[in-house]
Amino acid sequence: MIHFLSIDPAAIDWARAQFALTAIYHWLFVPLTLGVGLIMSIMETKYYRTGDTFWRTTAQFWQRLFGINFAMGVATGIILEFEFGTNWSNYSWFVGDIFGAPLAIEGIVAFFMESTFVAVMYFGWEKVSRGFHLASTWLTTLGATISAWWILVANSWMQYPVGCEFNPDTLRNEMTSFLDVALSPFAVDKFFHTVISSWVVGAVFVVAVSAWYLLKKREAEREMAFKSLRIGAIVGLIASVGAAITGDESAYKIAEVQPMKLAAMEALYNGGNEQDLTAVALLNPFSQPNYAEEEEAPMRLAIPYGLSILATRSIDGFVPGVNDILKGYTRADGRVEPSAKEKIERGKKAIAALADYRKYIADEKAADGSDSIGKITAAKEERLQVLKENWQYFGYGYIKDEAELVPFIPINFWAFRVMVGLGSLFILFFAYILFLGWRKRDIASMTWLLWMAIILLPCAYICSESGWLVAEFGRQPWTIQDMLPVSASVSDIGSSAVALTFWLFLLLFTSMLVVEISIMLKQIKKGIN
């Protein structure tokens, strides 16, 4: 056996930082692609149905902005896919049998659709029929949305691994049900919540740009701004309500399969029945609270029964806190969750049983040259039995200290509140705009409202990114929930190499972002002509 040097822990942090950086940058561009994609497709449909060239000009204007943003989404997206291999090579092997499939399907089914028809959308106005062009625009949006489906299937599987079984002979997890993976309830929720919330970002963008034209009293863009604002607000209201409903469902699922994430989101140290929902608390955003000693987060304002209803759909449902999960508790259905200490011990037992099994097979082969892989013998069964009994906690065997099992609470707590708070604000904002439209009020003269629309644009991005922070930070220390921690997923690359690529990516993405924003602003200033 070849023994490798253990890699330095800093390499894990840098690998995480690099992935987070790429994902956060990528997520600046994807929601706009999905959201503006939908809105520009609606506008071109109006052109197709009415033949009015106003809608053609309007659709082309939004497609120009879509194009600037789309390029950045593509550029940052490719790195994410390859980073699974470059920075998380152990992970890529351990679950590649399951995780690779959605990524390949995403390429075959979604990316080709997107990249083929986006070219027709850009360059085909004078070359193909109106119907073909409209279909191409919708297919571009559909391709982006299908792509979201498959990557979210992959991500959901990391949050809630289903449809797989560990194979001790190949030393990896293997898929047993494609449908369980592809249609996992966690994936369905995540898809709808993510895509619908992206429509909110697109809607806020369209409303903000339109508001700017109205503020500047640009005559050439006045009609476009009014009509775009209306479509944006309708899409925005439907989407922000939809995001709230799907978000609620997501939280319910998290309570079921990732209770530690929910406890971190709520800064709930000690759980109980009839649990109230924290509206806000003065939690230090920069340091991990002393959850073992403190009763609850300081200056906490709470909504009675809120968390029990959110997590269990009943007023008196039991919601475990961080300490309950670490010490062990009994679930509502009577299942007993062992303590972290026991899980770690059983995880170590599983790893040792697996090592023993591998050694037995290797010794057997060395002794008589026979290869018993795939054949069942009593001696093998005995060793596998111990593995099977403890397999559920295999990943815990790599955990050195139970404090590792608690994600960084402040990020989860605050990001969750920012997301929910801003999401609720969007519902009110879009509803108010549509109300004003219904009452035939002159929005163009309401300067404060137009300014607010512009101010809400960065808030939409913050809201969207906060959602990702909750989803990903809340899963820590796991790459795959309860199965594989980050420390066992990483590649054997020195921290200095990963740190270097981190800074290079940061420099590259930031420069590209600055140029992109500058081009976007100039295009908006230039207007429809």
Residues numbered 492 to 521 that lie near other proteins (CB under 8 A) are 492-494, 497, 501, 504, 508, 512, 514-516, 518-521
Q: Does 447 bind other proteins (CB under 8 A)?
A: no
- Considering only residues 17, 128, 434, 457, which one is a binding residue for other proteins as defined by CB under 8 A? 128
- State in angstroms the smallest separation of the CB of 324 from other proteins: 30
- State in angstroms the smallest separation of the CB of 16 from other proteins: 13
H or E element, residue 66: helix 53-87
Q: How far apart are CA 429 and CA 450, in angstroms?
A: 11
Q: Read off the amino acid at residue 25.
A: Y
- State in angstroms the smallest separation of the CB of 186 from other proteins: 20
- Considering only residues 30, 38, 118, 206, which one is a binding residue for other proteins as defined by CB under 8 A? 118
- State in angstroms the smallest separation of the CB of 129 from other proteins: 9
H or E element, residue 250: helix 219-257
Residues numbered 366 to 405 that lie near other proteins (CB under 8 A) are 371, 398
Q: How far apart are CA 102 and CA 152, in angstroms?
A: 9
Rg of the Cα atoms in the chain: 26
| Beta carbon nearer to other proteins, 25 or 468 | 25
| Beta carbon nearer to other proteins, 132 or 435 | 132
| Beta carbon nearer to other proteins, 42 or 139 | 139
Q: Does 24 bind other proteins (CB under 8 A)?
A: no
Write the burial class of residue 226 (CB in 10 Å: 0-12 exposed, 13-18 middle, 19+ buried). Answer: middle
Q: How far apart are CA 15 and CA 12, in angstroms?
A: 5
Residues numbered 142 to 171 that lie near other proteins (CB under 8 A) are 167, 170-171
Say how many CA atoms lie within 13 Å of 297 toward its Cβ: 28
- Per-residue x/- mask for other proteins, residues 173 to 212, rule CB under 8 A? -xxx-x----------------------------------
- 142: CB partners within 8 A, 6+ apart: 113
DSSP classification of residue 217: T
- State in angstroms the smallest separation of the CB of 508 from other proteins: 7
> Within 10 Å of residue 103's Cβ, how many Cβ atoms?
17
Residues numbered 305 to 364 that lie near other proteins (CB under 8 A) are 348, 351-352, 354-355, 358
DSSP classification of residue 319: B
Q: Is 427 left (phi over 0), alpha (psi -120 to 50) or beta?
A: alpha
Q: Does 132 bind other proteins (CB under 8 A)?
A: yes
> Within 10 Å of residue 376's Cβ, how many Cβ atoms?
8
Q: Are 86 and 165 in contact (CB under 8 A)?
A: no
Q: How far apart are CA 221 and CA 217, in angstroms?
A: 9
- 279: CB partners within 8 A, 6+ apart: 301, 302, 303
Residues numbered 66 to 85 that lie near other proteins (CB under 8 A) are 67-68, 70-72, 74-79, 81-82, 84-85
| Beta carbon nearer to other proteins, 123 or 435 | 123
Q: Does 431 bind other proteins (CB under 8 A)?
A: no
Structure tokens at 241: 């309500």
- 153: CB partners within 8 A, 6+ apart: 102, 181, 182, 184, 187, 191
Q: Does 52 bind other proteins (CB under 8 A)?
A: no
Q: Does 229 bind other proteins (CB under 8 A)?
A: no
> Within 10 Å of residue 321's Cβ, how many Cβ atoms?
24
| Beta carbon nearer to other proteins, 333 or 368 | 368
> Within 10 Å of residue 360's Cβ, how many Cβ atoms?
16
- State in angstroms the smallest separation of the CB of 423 from other proteins: 31
- DSSP letter for each residue of 411-446: HHHHHHHHHHHHHHHHHHHHHHHHHHHHTT--GGG-
| Beta carbon nearer to other proteins, 117 or 269 | 117
Q: Are 284 and 276 in contact (CB under 8 A)?
A: no
Residues numbered 465 to 494 that lie near other proteins (CB under 8 A) are 487-488, 490-494
| Beta carbon nearer to other proteins, 452 or 488 | 488
- Considering only residues 19, 27, 94, 468, which one is a binding residue for other proteins as defined by CB under 8 A? 94
Say how many CA atoms lie within 13 Å of 494 toward its Cβ: 3
- Considering only residues 20, 109, 302, 431, which one is a binding residue for other proteins as defined by CB under 8 A? 109
| Beta carbon nearer to other proteins, 272 or 527 | 527
* Residue entry with tokens 């892989």: 373
- State in angstroms the smallest separation of the CB of 391 from other proteins: 13
* Number of residues engaging other proteins in binding (CB under 8 A): 104
Q: Does 452 bind other proteins (CB under 8 A)?
A: no
Q: Does 527 bind other proteins (CB under 8 A)?
A: no
- Considering only residues 88, 157, 192, 429, which one is a binding residue for other proteins as defined by CB under 8 A? 88
- Considering only residues 103, 332, 434, 499, which one is a binding residue for other proteins as defined by CB under 8 A? 103
- Considering only residues 14, 19, 35, 106, which one is a binding residue for other proteins as defined by CB under 8 A? 106
Q: Read off the amino acid at residue 455.
A: I
| Beta carbon nearer to other proteins, 143 or 320 | 143
Q: Does 87 bind other proteins (CB under 8 A)?
A: yes
- State in angstroms the smallest separation of the CB of 137 from other proteins: 12
478 phi/psi in degrees, rounded to 5: -90, 140
Q: Does 285 bind other proteins (CB under 8 A)?
A: no
- State in angstroms the smallest separation of the CB of 247 from other proteins: 29
Is the bond into 477 cis (omega within 30 degrees of 0)?
yes
Q: Are 337 and 329 in contact (CB under 8 A)?
A: yes
Q: Does 104 bind other proteins (CB under 8 A)?
A: yes
| Beta carbon nearer to other proteins, 103 or 234 | 103
